C-alpha cells in the first residue's frame, strides 16, 4: 500500500482512539456524541478506505480511494455535528463511488455468490464491497427517516445502531484474506456453506435487533459464535505459517472473545433484572466494542495495509503483544485516565512500527505471502 495512504490511516486510526476517550472530556463537551467519531473514523474511514484501495489493487493511491477517504471523514464529522442534510448528500456520493468500484471489479448483481466455481475469498471480497455500499446507503435512509419524514417508527432504527453496518464490511474483507490462505480438500463445499452462514446469520441477527427479539438474538449469536470457532480451526489447521497468518490468528482470538461478550451483553441487557445489571451490561458492551474494533478489525486492516510487502522486517509477535497491551490499557482507561494515555502512546508506537517497517522482499512480487486477493 502507498505510504501516503498508510499515513492517512495512521491519522484516522489514532484519531478514532482519541475520540474513544470521550468519557473523560470536559463536561461542556459531554453533550456531543463523540462515540460516532470513534467508530466512524475506524470502521468507515479507515476500514472502508482500505476496502476501496484493496479492490483497486492497492499498488498506487487511486483518485477514488482518496475521494472516498476525504468524503468519509467529512461524513463522520457531519454526522457527529448533526448536520444531517449535508451528511445525506455526502453519503449518496460515497455510495456512488463504492458502487463504481464494485461494479467495475465484479458485477451489478452479485451472481457470483451463487456460482460454485468462484473461490470463496472472492465472494467475501464482493460481499464486503456490497455491504459497505449498502451500509452507507442505509445510513442515509435512516437519517432521512428519523429527521425528515419518519416513515417508520422504531427506537432501534437510528444511526448509532448502524455501527454494526460499518463494522461488518471490515470483517468480510478480513475473511476474504483468511480464506485465500486456507488449503483444504473439498474446501468449495465447506467454504461456501460457511459463506452463507456468516452473511445470512448477520442479516438475520440485525433484523432481530430491530425487532427486539431477545431469544432469537441469543440463538443466532450462538450460531455465529460456533461458526467463528470453525473458522479458527480451518484457518489454523489448513494455512501456511506466515506473518499474515500470525496476525490474523491473533484477530481470531479477539473475535472469539467478542462472541462471549456479545452473548453476555444480550443476556444482561434484557434480563428481567436489567435495572440491577445495567452497569454490568454497559461494561460488557464497552469491552466488546474495543475488542472488536481494535482487535479483530485492526488485524484485518493491518494485513490489508501491507499485503504486498510481506514478509516485513519486524518481529511480528511484538506487534501482537503491543496490540493486546494497548487494548487492555484502553479498557482500564475507562476507569483511570492514566491508562488511556498509556494505551494511546502504545497505539501510536504500534501504528508507526507496523505501517512504516521495511519489507524483506527484493524487487520481486514472488516474495509476497498474500497473492490471491491481489490478483482479484
Helix, strand, coil shares of the chain, percent, nearest 5, are 75, 0, 25
Distances (CA, A) of 220 to 2, 12, 207, 272: 39, 33, 11, 21
For residue 35, give every residue at least 6 positions away whose Cβ sits within 8 Å of its Cβ, in sequence order, or none. 19, 20, 22, 160
**Strand (E) positions, the chain?**
none
Q: What are phi and psi for residue 312, nearest 5 degrees?
A: -100, 155
In order along its 376 residues, the chain shows pLDDT tens digits of 678 888 899 999 999 888 877 666 666 666 677 777 888 898 999 999 999 999 987 667 888 999 999 999 999 999 888 898 999 999 999 999 999 999 999 989 999 898 888 888 999 999 999 999 999 998 898 888 887 887 777 666 666 666 667 888 999 999 999 988 887 655 567 778 888 998 898 888 878 877 777 888 888 888 889 988 988 988 888 888 899 999 999 999 999 999 899 888 888 777 655 566 677 778 888 888 889 989 999 999 999 988 888 889 999 999 999 999 999 999 998 788 899 899 999 999 999 999 998 887 644 434 334 344 433 3
Helices and strands per DSSP (H, E), number in the chain? 14, 0
Name the grid cell of 141.
435512509
- Domain boundaries along the sequence of the chain: 3-375
Q: In the CATH hierarchy, which top-level class contains the domain 3-375?
A: mainly alpha
Cell numbers for 181, please give them.
490462505
CB within 8 A of 260, min separation 6: which ones? 225
Closest to 376 (Cα-Cα) out of 53, 88, 38? 53
- 189 by Cβ neighbours in 10 Å (0-12 / 13-18 / 19+) ranks as exposed
Amino acid at each position: 500500500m502507498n505510504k501516503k495512504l498508510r499515513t492517512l490511516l495512521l491519522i484516522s486510526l489514532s484519531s478514532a482512539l482519541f475520540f474513544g476517550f470521550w468519557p473523560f472530556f470536559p463536561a461542556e463537551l459531554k453533550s456531543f456524541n463523540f462515540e460516532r467519531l470513534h467508530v466512524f473514523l475506524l470502521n468507515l474511514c479507515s476500514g472502508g478506505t482500505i476496502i476501496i484501495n484493496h479492490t483497486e489493487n492497492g499498488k498506487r493511491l487511486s483518485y477514488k480511494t482518496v475521494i472516498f477517504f476525504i468524503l468519509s471523514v467529512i461524513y463522520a464529522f457531519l454526522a457527529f455535528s448533526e448536520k444531517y442534510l449535508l451528511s445525506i448528500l455526502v453519503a449518496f456520493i460515497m455510495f456512488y463511488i463504492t458502487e463504481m468500484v464494485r461494479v467495475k471489479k465484479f458485477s451489478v448483481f452479485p451472481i457470483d455468490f451463487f456460482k460454485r466455481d468462484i473461490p470463496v475469498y472472492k465472494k467475501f471480497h464482493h460481499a464486503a464491497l456490497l455491504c459497505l455500499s449498502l451500509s452507507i446507503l442505509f445510513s442515509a435512509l435512516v437519517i432521512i427517516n428519523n429527521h425528515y419524514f419518519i416513515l417508520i417508527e422504531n427506537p432501534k432504527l437510528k444511526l448509532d445502531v448502524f455501527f454494526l453496518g460499518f463494522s461488518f464490511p471490515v470483517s468480510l474483507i478480513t475473511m476474504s484474506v483468511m480464506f485465500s490462505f486456507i488449503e483444504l480438500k473439498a474446501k468449495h463445499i465447506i467454504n461456501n456453506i460457511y459463506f452463507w452462514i456468516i452473511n445470512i446469520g448477520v442479516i438475520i441477527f440485525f433484523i432481530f435487533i430491530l425487532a427486539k427479539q431477545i431469544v432469537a438474538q441469543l440463538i443466532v449469536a450462538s450460531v455465529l459464535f460456533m461458526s467463528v470457532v470453525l473458522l479458527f480451526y480451518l484457518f489454523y489447521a489448513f494455512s501456511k505459517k506466515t506473518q499474515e497468518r500470525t496476525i490474523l490468528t491473533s484477530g481470531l482470538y479477539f473475535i472469539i472473545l467478542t462472541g462471549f461478550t456479545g452473548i453476555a451483553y444480550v443476556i444482561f441487557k434484557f434480563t428481567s433484572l436489567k435495572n440491577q445489571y445495567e452497569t454490568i451490561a454497559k461494561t460488557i458492551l464497552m469491552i466488546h466494542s474495543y475488542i472488536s474494533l481494535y482487535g479483530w478489525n485492526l488485524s484485518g486492516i493491518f494485513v490489508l495495509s501491507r499485503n504486498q510487502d510481506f514478509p516485513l522486517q519486524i518481529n511480528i509477535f511484538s506487534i501482537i503483544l503491543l496490540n493486546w497491551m494497548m487494548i487492555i490499557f484502553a479498557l482500564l482507561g475507562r476507569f483511570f485516565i492514566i491508562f488511556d494515555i498509556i494505551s494511546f502512546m502504545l497505539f501510536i508506537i504500534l501504528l508507526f512500527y507496523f505501517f512504516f517497517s521495511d519489507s524483506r522482499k527484493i524487487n520481486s512480487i514472488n516474495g509476497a505471502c498474500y497473492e490471491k486477493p491481489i490478483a482479484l
